[in-house]
Structure 1
Amino acid sequence: MRTDSTPTPPERSRVGRRTLLAGTLAAAGLATAGCGARPTAAGARLRQWNLFTGGDGARMVEMHDAYRADHPEVDFRPTTYLWGNPYYTKFTMGAAGGRAFDIATLHLSRLRGLGAGTLIDPVPAHLLAEFGIGPDTVLPNVWDKCAVDGELYAIPLDTHLVVTYFNREVCASAGVLDADGGLVETSGPEEFLDLLAAVRDVTGRYGIVMETTAGWRLFWSLYRQLGGDLTLEGDVVMDDDKALRVLDFLRRIASDGLTPKASDAPGTPANFQNGIAGLMLGGNWEIPTFQAAGMDFGMRPFPGIFGDALGQGDSHAFVLPHRRDPDDRAVRAAVAYAAWMLKHSLIWAGGGHTPAYLPVARSAEYDALEPQADYRSAAEHVQFDPDAWFSGSAAPLQNEADSVFSGVFDGAATPEQALARFQRAARQLVDTPAPV
């Protein structure tokens, strides 16, 4: 499933309020907090590839405009491709050719499967440290994910994950807000279902909406709350009892009429916006949609139904292609660009993603962002997909799980049938040689 909205035209120069905000932050010292020496990249050409369209794409353009203004000595050439498989196919072909880009964006969950050590070169940690980026300035759980066999291969920009949205007016009428206007805490599945029923009594339709056609994110969040693991090496090893407990809970939400039995990526936020439900489980990147609509809504981490409030998610990160011929100047310019982007990621946070760079994520400016600051803690516990070449964002494992688990919501499959089908599909993927 994609983490952005509808595609936008190719990137072009455009200055907006976030570009101006970047200048303000730089003047205040936040954007350059912790930075070291400025790169000497006069005359360097920097080719950057990314997969950001829609709202994310617009913010990336504004950040790039600010980067150009701050680095006139760099011949900066960004290119945007369609999210998902179109991008990753292009990425693989470009990296294999060795001349396509100097730095590119990918989901951190795809790092191993897309050729760390073959198509992707290590990031010179000492060079990154010159620009003030290292393990002490990046969210630890995300930084650790950037290493393969003890070597750094990625520079994380953000964390994005599944969170809880709530309509304040509806939830106030249902009596499920606390004294501070936040959604009340629940303990265990029964209390959560009771909360949904109270909200449904107000809307007259549903208590919550979620993307039932993409059930992997919901399943993995709850399965991890139960302490479930999934090993995809040699065979498929998982805890069937915990998996069935999760799938039965998801089935029950739909069969009890608390959520629509079928809801896709465009329909889920639309139904939350039009008020047929008072809550939504969805990606943090939906914030701009509801803000533009003038909704009075709040956010908090994914609900802790079976334990801690863990939610499935990922990280957008920068990587360097393998170079047949070393080019120190190009590598330096690429690393400097990534460091600049991290230090200016308050602009990026406007779209909902939580900055990986701690001086921004812990700043007073980020504290003032509503409702982003209310789910900031979720990034510290983001649940990445299991390691495998076919796992991660827009990868085959998610696609297979989404197809199978959707049947649990609409009654086409029992939890037992869905789990058996998922495991068969996963075993076929395990038995398929990695293409990279």
Structure 2
Amino acid sequence: MKRLKWLHFALAACLVLALSACGSGGSGKSDSQTQNNNQTGSSDSEAPSGDSAPKGKTELVFWSPFSGPDGPFMKKIVDAYNEQSDSYQVKFQIQPSGDYYKLLDNAFGTKKNMPDLMIMHLDAIPTYARKDLLQPMDDLAAKAGITKEDYVEAAVNYATIDGKWWGIPLDIHPLIMYYNKDLFAAAGIEHPPTNREEFLEAAKKLTDPSKGQWGFVMPTLWPQQFIFPSLIYQQGSDLVDAEGNPNLNSPEAVDALAFLKSLIFEHKVSPENVAQDGEVKLFLQGKNAIQFNGPWMKDQWDKAGINYGVAPVPVFFDQPGVFGGSHTFVVPKAQTDAAKLEGIGDFLKYVAGHSLDWAESGQAVASKQVLASPEFQQLTQQQTEVAKEFDYVHFAPPIPDWGSIVGELWTQVNLTLLGKAEPQKALDEAQKKALQAAEAKKQ
């Protein structure tokens, strides 16, 4: 969860992320974000769940980047599985989220300490599949009785490349809206905004510079990697064209960035020159009424005792649309042990039916069985509101090394929101650099 994660957007490379607070608390970033800087990295920090496999049990080493408050939720699932399994023992190892892909690349490169199963951010799959480092999950899933129909379509479709299924989803973490209920009540606002008109009306009522109070504090860095693309999707456009080439200076992208800038300099519902995590700090202080961020923020808000609500991101343009990330289960191509592969399938089948504990971390899981369960419906408002966005969530373009291609984009978005660049010129520069980077990748 640390700092420059995306220029990935990873997600840029969710590749960046996002995702999901799989890192530590406090920065307003998720491991989904760290993911995005990702794909390189290495340290030996780990938190195994359980001792060595008891006699007669096959041990499965499972890596994850859940080094934040979400880690204990996954450990609970693993411990429950180990307790009920007579044949397999999952050894759960948490790697630091900021170094996760460096550690993973080191394991791939040295072929030492390789996990049998690992969590990978969905938008990293195209890169690792292209490098021939993963194995398709189709046979493993079929033998375990797992089908694509068991999971939310958006994540399954993204992870299906060249007709093969490369990653089984755990969750989806889209951009969502948090709002301060006390500030809304004081301003006489009865419900969260659902469109541009309602958002502007509410934000203006909630803004009082004399009190240092703002309707919406505009982040100029992370999580713009989730916010800016969401407004492009709401116009029916994308960050790539039909041929998969960067499309960063489209009319829709310019309109999206111009709108974000207008909230600061025209509508003045946000302060200027917001530093990294400034919007988070002000939300914690009760001075920021509306916050766009990811499900991973839940633990931080809860611990701070904020009286907050959760709602889908308003439709600012023509249609609903949000950027999101996803944690998926993948298996290294090098893992060919039949007993271990059978055990991995058994564990994933168990997770699909018992991931309510993961949902309790604030995530909305990708398992349709859990989503439809009465237990999930009885969770807090957050998880059910997040799940509402699954029908229109978008992920980073499924292009290998996408994060490195769009690194300049986030620099230009930052400059624009600081008032140092105009949207069209900034995005023209981002497009130029992206085309150069994409061409270099082909050589």
TM-score category of the 2 structures, normalised to the smaller one: 0.7 to 0.9
Equivalent residue number for residue 433 of structure 2 = 425
Structure 1 contact 404–418 (Cα < 8 Å) conserved? yes
Could you tell me which residue of structure 1 aligns to residue 77 of structure 2?
63
Match of 1:135? 148
Q: 1:102 aligns with which of 101, 116, 120?
A: 116
Counterpart check, 1:306 vs 2:320: no
Match of 2:181 in 1: 168
Specify the SS of the correspondent of 1:321. coil
Counterpart contact for 1:116–1:153, Cα < 8 Å: no
Structure 2 residue 170 is matched with structure 1 residue 152: no
Q: Which residue of 1 aligns with 2:203?
A: 196
**Among 242, 250, 268, which residue is 1:240 paired with?**
250
Report how far residue 344 of structure 1 moved: 2.0
Q: For residues 96 and 406 of structure 2, what CA distance do their matches in structure 1 show? A: 18
The SS at the match of 2:175 is strand
Distance in 2 separating the partners of 1:105 and 1:283: 18
One-letter amino acid of the structure 2 residue matched with residue 314 of structure 1: G
Shift of 1:407: 1.2
Residue aligning to 1:88: 101
Deviation readout 1:131-168 (Å, 9 max, x if unpaired): 44312211112211121111111100000011000111
* Secondary structure of the structure 2 residue equivalent to 1:432: helix
* Contact 2:48/2:93, CA 8 A, preserved across alignment: no
1:48 aligns with 2:62: yes
User: 1:3-49 CA distances to partner (integer Å, 9 max, x unpaired)?
Assistant: 324279732559xxxxxxxxxxxxxxxxxxxxxxxxxx953121111
Residues 139 and 357 of structure 1 are in contact (CA less than 8 Å); yes or no, is this contact kept in structure 2? Answer: yes
Kept in 2, the 8 Å contact 1:105–1:316? The answer is yes
1:225 aligns with 2:261: no
**CA distance 1:94–1:13, change in 2 (3 Å):** closer
| Residue equivalent to 1:403 | 411
Asked if 1 retains the 8 angstrom alpha-carbon contact of 2:248 and 2:431, the reply is no
**Correspondence for 2:339:** 329
Q: Which moved more, 1:109-118 or 1:358-367?
A: 109-118
- Residue 283 of structure 1 pairs with residue 294 of structure 2: yes
In structure 2, the residue matched to 1:115 is 129
Preserved CA contact (<8 Å) 1:160 1:313:
yes
SS in 2 for 1:385: coil
SS in 2 for 1:340: helix
Cα RMSD over matched residues? 2.7
SS in 2 for 1:136: helix
State the match for 1:379 in structure 2.
Answer: 390
Shift of 1:194: 2.0
- Asked if 1:295 is matched to 2:306, the reply is yes
> Aligned with 1:67: secondary structure?
helix
CA contact (8 A) 2:282 2:288 kept: yes
Deviation at 1:129, TM superposition (A): 3.9
Return closer, same or farther for 1:210/1:316 CA change in 2, 3 Å cut-off: farther
**Structure 1, 288-297 or 68-77: larger mean CA deviation:** 68-77
Show the counterpart of 2:47.
Answer: 11
Structure 1 runs not aligned, ≥5 long: 15-40
Q: Please give the per-residue CA displacement for 1:245-268, whole angstroms capped at 9, x wherever unaligned.
A: 111101111213312334456443
Conserved? CA contact 1:159–1:355, under 8 Å: yes
Match of 1:354 in 2: 364
Inter-partner Cα distance in structure 1 for 2:410 and 2:304? 29
The 2-side partners of 1:417 and 1:434 are apart by 26
Using the size of structure 2 for normalisation, the TM-score is 0.82
Counting only pairs closer than 5 Å after superposition, residues 170-185 of structure 1 correspond to structure 2 as: 170-178=183-191, 183-185=192-194
Q: Which deviates the most, 145-154 or 90-99?
A: 90-99
d(CA) in 2 for partners of 1:66, 1:415: 51
Distance change in 2, residues 1:169/1:398 (3 Å): farther
Post-superposition shift, 1:130?
4.7
> 3-state SS of the aligned residue for 1:387?
coil
In structure 2, the gaps of 5 or more residues are 6-17, 27-44
Q: Distance in 1 between matches of 2:324 and 2:61?
A: 28
1:24 match = none
